[in-house]
Amino acid sequence: MKKLLTFLCLLLVFDKTQGQALEKLTLEESYTLANENYPQINQRDLISKSEAYSISNAAKGIFPVLTINGQESYQSDVTQIPFQSPEMNIDPLSKHQYKVYGEVTMNLYDGGVIKNQKQSYQAGAKIDQQKLEVELYKLNDRVNQLYFGALLLDAQIRQNQLLRNDIERGIQRTEAAIANGIALKSSRDVLQAERLKVNQKLIELNAARTAYLEMLGLMVGKNLEDSAILEKPKQLVSNEVISRPELLLFDYQRQAIDVQNKFLSTRLKPKFSIFFQGGYGRPGLNMLKNEAETYYIGGVRLHWTIASFYTHKKEKALLDISRSNIELQRATFLYNTNLAVRSQKSEVKKIQDVLAADDEIISLREKIKNTASAQLADGVIDSNDYLREVTAEDQARQNKILHEIQLLLAQYSLQTTTGI
């Protein structure tokens, strides 16, 4: 029975522990989840399916094509023999004529049109996919703002508790001084009022953290409770190489221009096909026979549109302009990105320099606070003097917290600017 009770107790403790397990989230996971949760992500499959269908349809251009035509007409005049002979009697053609025929055509040589169409669809799909990647990449900056905002609030909440502990110690020492007759009750009231202000600040910080977690949860598609833990990412080394998805988009756009250039060349080439036509009509192929009959005809067909030669040079010039425009956009993007990188690297360096002095400031402020705490217990200073030193140390620690999160945000913003 004891073993059974022990087992049940352990099971209850295990279940309770499991129920209280805190959810953890990293910055990298946030990037991934935000991309997967973004509604536009479904466009990836649509682009792939559209590409597959278009290429499949283009490939069917090599298959024979069947067309069926029909015509019935009444004409005002017909071809007649201009003379009559007793030895030869030729009935005039009927003015009422009709025919129904089918024709099968199959390409022998299309000048590379089908191949070019496939390449064009593939190039267009790459561009559409990369445009989507560019849009998804923009989510990273929004994730950074929310994630590091929540981390800053986490650190401020922890510092708030440390400040509250210092005030509690001050209250305890003040009460001892009051009992010894070396301090007034008003000194304790001052500290108690400050404790209430700290508690109010904690409420504000928790409310702000909840709001940040809710917004971050909406982006990543997860319900982040107040108990959720956001892991603090490691510091980064600045990256000099720009590898943004926009650069790949420019490459795909240039490739699409090359495909269009090839298409211009295919328009200049002749096209050959074979055909077979069979039908029934009046008259048939024998125009001198005024009877309905079946007929067929087959052969090779040449199609060559020389009008493309007239516009070829100007169309190539237009493609060259488009290519130059893409290069200009790329150069502008790199120029602006490099400016942003330089500015962000300066920001990172500034924060690192400021952060280097924070520990020394905190150490000095802590010594001053500890001295003030002892003086408060001895009645040398009052609660206002003690609070001033406690607040000064708290402000020094708050500054360090802010600078640490600012440094991380600046580093990861720089990484987002250069390319992950």
Residue type at 107 in one-letter notation: N
Structure tokens at 418: 């250069």
407, two tokens: 């440094």
Give the residue ranges of DSSP H helices in 138-242. Answer: 139-179, 185-220
Decide the pairing of beta strands 271-282 and 293-303. antiparallel
Q: What angle do CA 139, 141, 147 make, to 5 degrees?
A: 100
| Positions of the chain with pLDDT under 50 | 1-22
Q: What is the pLDDT of residues 157-168, one digit of tens each?
A: 999 999 999 889
Give me the pLDDT at residue 2, please: 42
pLDDT tens, residue by residue, 112-121: 888 999 999 9
Encoded amino acid at 115, one letter: K
pTM of the model: 0.80
Class of domain 29-62+110-269+304-418: mainly alpha
Helix (H, G, I), strand (E, B) or coil at 287: coil
Return the ∠ at Cα 130 (arms to 126 and 135), rounded to 5°: 155
What token pair was written down for 76?
A: 């005002």
Residue 80 has what pLDDT? Answer: 75
Class of residue 272 by CB neighbours under 10 A (exposed 0-12, middle 13-18, buried 19+): middle
The secondary element (H helix, E strand) that includes residue 373 is helix 358-378
Burial of 298 by CB count in 10 Å (0-12 exposed, 13-18 middle, 19+ buried)?
Answer: exposed
Structure tokens belonging to residue 29 = 């996971």
Buried b (16+ CB within 10 A) or exposed e, 209-237: beebbeebbebbebebeeebebebbeeee
CB-CB contact of 294 with 112 (8 Å): no
Angle between helices 139-179 and 358-378 (to 10 degrees): 20
Q: In whole angstroms, what is the distance from residue 225 CA to residue 332 CA?
A: 43
DSSP 93: P
User: Cβ neighbours of residue 28 under 8 Å, at least 6 residues apart?
Assistant: 233
d(CA 275, CA 271): 13
**Residue type present at position 80:** Q
The DSSP letter of residue 20 is T
